[in-house]
C-alpha cells in the first residue's frame, strides 16, 4: 500500500511539473510569435541550460541531431498547423473530417505494418478492430497519423495536420487522468516511437517525457505488470501487456541515451522485460526487443557516469555473447546496427580523456562503425524498411553526420586510413537512399534533407547527391534539427574554435 502511495505521489509531482512547463512554454509562445515552439515541454531556455551544464561532457546524440536540424531550417508540422487552422479541438473531429472508408484504410495500413508494436490482433477483420479502437479517440488518431504517411501525398497533406492536432489535444487531456486504460499505453507508445514521423521534425513531441508518463501510469496501476513467470500460465492478454511494457521501456531508454536524461526505470524494471521470454509464444521480434532493452541499459549506465571504456566494452561483449543467437536469425541487421551504435557512443565519450595516439585509433573506429551502420541499413533494405521506427532513421542520420564532422576536422588524419572520396560517396548514396524510401512526408526524406544540408555546409566542394541538387538544399535546414536534437545533430561542441571537442556528443534531446 505504501509503495502504491509513493508512486501516486511521484506521479502527481510529475503532473505538476508538466503543467508548469506547459504554462512556461505557452507564455514564451505568446511573447514571441516568431520563435519556434516545436520543442514541447522543454523550452529553449532549458535546452541551453542543459547544454551549458554538460559542456564538459560528451554531447548526447539526439541533441547533436537537434542542432543539425536547427542549423538547417526544417520547419515542422506544428508551425504549418497554426498557419492553416485556428479550429478548436472537437471530440468527433475524426468522424467529421475523415470518412469511414479512409479510417478503415488507414487502420488496415497501421495494423499490417505496426500492429505488433501495440499487440493488435492480426487475425480479426479491420472493421471489428475499428470498433474496438474507436473506443479511444486518442488511439485511433495516433494509428491514423502514422498510417497516413504511407498513402498518398495528397491524402497526407489533407489529413496529417488535422490528425496531429487532434492527437495532441486528446493526449494533453489523457495524460492527467488516472487510472489509464490499455489504449492510453498503446497510443503513448505510438506517439513516442514515431514522434519525428508525426511532426516531420525531431522532438516536436517530447518522447522522453511521454514515455516516462506512461511508465509512471503503469507503475501506479500495475496494468502492464504480470505476476506469474511460468510460461504455461501466460495468457495472450498477459503477453500483450508484457509487449507493451517492454516496448515502452525501450523507447524510453532510446531517448534517455539520446538526451542524457535520467530514466524513470531501474534495474528491477529492466529485468522484468525478460519475463516474456518465459513464454513458448515469444517470437524473434519480441526476443530482439528484450535484447535491445538490455543493450540500451548498458549504454545508459555508461553514458551517465565518467566513461570507463574497458569496463563498458566488456559489458557490450558480454551482451553480444548472450544474444549471439539473434545475430544468426532473420532481421539480425537491427541488433548489428544497435551494437555498432553502442560502440560508437562509448568511443565518442572516451575521446577527450585519451592520448593523441589513442584518440587517432578511436576516430578511425568511429568512422568504421558509422560506415558499418549505414551499409548494413542500405544492404538489407526490403519492403519493411519504410515502416521502421524513427530511432533507426535517427541512428542513420547520426552516423552520416559523424562521418561528415570527422572528415571536416580530421581529413588529413583519416586520409592515411580511408578513401575520403569513398566516404563522401557513401554519405551522398545514403541521401539518395533515404529520399527514395517513401513519400516526401516520410521521415527518410526528412533525414535525407538534413544529412545533405549538413554535409553541404561542412563539405561544400563534395559531389552532390544523385537524387538532390545541392542548389535546391537549404543549409539552414540544419538549424531546426540541431535545435531539436542537440545531442545527435548539435553543432556547438564541433565549432571551429574547439575542434578537439569534435566527437563529444552530449544530450540526444
The C-alpha cell that represents 210 in the structure block: 511521454
The DSSP secondary-structure symbol of 229 reads -
- Least Cα distance to 292 among 258, 323, 259 occurs for 323
- Residue 398: the pLDDT is 92
The CA distance from 443 to 395, in Å, is: 12
Average pLDDT, the chain: 78
User: Each residue of 419-441: pLDDT tens digit?
Assistant: 999 999 999 999 999 999 999 88
Query: Between 284 and 259, where is the model more confident?
Result: 284
User: Each residue of 167-208: pLDDT tens digit?
Assistant: 988 998 888 788 889 999 999 999 999 988 887 665 567 899
- Residue 401: the pLDDT is 92
Say if CB 487 and CB 208 are below 8 A apart.
no
- Across residues 143-162, what is the average pLDDT? 92
Say if CB 394 and CB 196 are below 8 A apart.
yes
- Residue 267: the pLDDT is 95
The CA distance from 293 to 270, in Å, is: 7
- Residue 246 to residues 69, 225, 242, 290, 294, Cα–Cα distance (Å): 30, 11, 6, 7, 11
- Residue 237: the pLDDT is 84
Show contacts of 83-88: CB within 8 Å, 24+ apart: 84/161, 85/161, 85/162, 85/165, 87/165
Say if CB 488 and CB 451 are below 8 A apart.
no
Task: Work out the pLDDT band at 259, boundaries 50, 70, 90.
Answer: confident
pLDDT at residue 35 greater than cutoff 70: no
- Residue 144: the pLDDT is 95
- Across residues 257-262, what is the average pLDDT? 86
Which phi and psi (to 5°) does residue 180 adopt?
A: -100, 145
Say how many CA atoms lie within 13 Å of 191 toward its Cβ. Answer: 33
- Across residues 379-384, what is the average pLDDT? 94
Task: Work out the pLDDT band at 125, boundaries 50, 70, 90.
Answer: very high
- Across residues 377-388, what is the average pLDDT? 95
Task: Work out the pLDDT band at 85, boundaries 50, 70, 90.
Answer: very low
Angle at 318 between CA 315 and CA 321, to 5 degrees: 155
Amino acid at each position: 500500500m505504501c509503495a502504491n502511495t509513493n508512486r501516486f505521489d511521484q506521479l502527481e509531482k510529475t503532473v505538476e511539473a508538466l503543467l508548469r512547463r506547459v504554462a512556461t512554454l505557452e507564455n514564451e509562445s505568446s511573447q514571441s510569435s516568431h520563435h519556434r515552439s516545436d520543442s514541447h515541454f522543454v523550452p529553449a531556455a532549458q535546452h541551453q541550460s542543459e547544454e551549458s551544464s554538460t559542456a564538459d561532457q560528451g554531447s548526447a546524440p539526439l541533441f547533436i541531431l537537434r542542432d543539425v536540424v536547427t542549423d538547417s531550417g526544417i520547419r515542422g508540422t506544428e508551425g504549418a498547423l497554426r498557419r492553416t487552422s485556428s479550429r478548436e479541438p472537437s471530440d468527433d473531429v475524426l468522424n467529421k473530417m475523415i470518412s469511414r472508408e479512409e479510417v478503415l484504410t488507414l487502420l488496415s495500413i497501421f495494423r499490417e505494418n505496426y500492429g505488433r508494436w501495440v499487440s493488435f490482433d492480426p487475425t480479426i477483420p479491420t472493421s471489428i478492430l475499428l470498433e474496438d479502437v474507436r473506443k479511444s479517440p486518442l488511439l485511433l488518431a495516433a494509428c491514423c497519423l502514422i498510417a497516413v504517411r504511407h498513402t498518398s501525398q495528397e491524402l497526407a497533406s489533407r489529413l496529417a495536420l488535422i490528425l496531429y492536432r487532434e492527437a495532441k489535444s486528446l493526449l494533453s487531456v489523457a495524460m492527467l487522468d488516472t487510472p489509464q486504460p490499455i489504449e492510453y499505453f498503446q497510443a503513448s507508445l505510438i506517439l513516442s516511437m514515431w514522434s519525428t514521423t508525426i511532426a516531420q521534425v525531431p522532438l516536436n513531441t517530447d518522447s522522453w517525457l511521454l514515455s516516462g508518463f506512461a511508465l509512471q501510469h503503469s507503475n501506479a496501476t500495475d496494468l502492464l505488470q504480470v505476476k506469474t513467470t511460468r510460461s504455461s500460465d501466460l495468457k495472450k492478454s498477459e503477453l500483450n501487456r508484457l509487449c507493451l511494457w517492454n516496448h515502452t521501456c525501450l523507447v524510453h531508454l532510446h531517448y534517455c541515451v539520446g538526451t542524457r536524461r535520467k530514466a524513470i526505470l531501474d534495474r528491477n524494471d529492466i529485468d522484468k522485460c525478460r519475463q516474456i521470454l518465459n513464454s513458448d509464444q515469444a517470437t524473434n521480434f519480441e526476443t530482439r526487443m528484450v535484447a535491445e532493452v538490455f543493450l540500451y541499459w548498458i549504454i545508459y549506465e555508461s553514458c551517465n557516469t565518467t566513461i570507463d571504456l574497458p569496463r563498458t566494452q566488456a559489458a557490450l561483449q558480454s551482451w553480444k555473447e548472450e544474444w549471439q543467437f539473434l545475430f544468426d536469425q532473420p532481421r539480425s541487421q537491427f541488433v548489428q546496427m544497435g551494437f555498432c551504435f553502442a560502440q560508437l557512443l562509448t568511443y565518442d565519450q572516451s575521446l577527450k580523456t585519451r592520448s593523441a595516439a589513442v584518440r587517432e585509433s578511436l576516430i578511425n573506429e568511429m568512422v568504421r562503425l558509422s560506415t558499418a551502420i549505414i551499409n548494413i541499413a542500405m544492404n538489407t533494405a526490403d519492403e519493411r524498411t519504410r515502416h521502421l521506427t524513427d530511432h533507426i532513421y535517427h541512428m542513420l542520420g547520426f552516423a552520416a553526420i559523424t562521418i561528415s564532422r570527422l572528415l571536416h576536422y580530421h581529413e588529413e588524419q583519416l586520409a592515411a586510413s580511408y578513401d575520403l572520396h569513398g566516404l563522401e560517396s557513401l554519405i551522398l548514396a545514403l541521401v539518395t537512399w533515404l529520399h527514395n524510401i517513401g513519400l516526401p512526408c516520410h521521415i527518410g526524406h526528412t533525414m535525407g534533407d538534413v544529412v545533405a544540408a549538413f554535409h553541404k555546409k561542412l563539405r561544400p566542394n563534395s559531389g552532390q547527391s544523385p537524387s538532390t541538387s545541392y542548389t535546391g538544399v537549404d543549409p539552414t535546414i540544419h538549424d531546426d534539427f540541431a535545435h531539436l536534437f542537440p545531442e545527435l545533430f548539435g553543432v556547438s561542441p564541433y565549432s571551429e574554435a574547439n575542434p578537439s571537442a569534435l566527437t563529444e556528443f552530449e544530450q540526444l534531446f
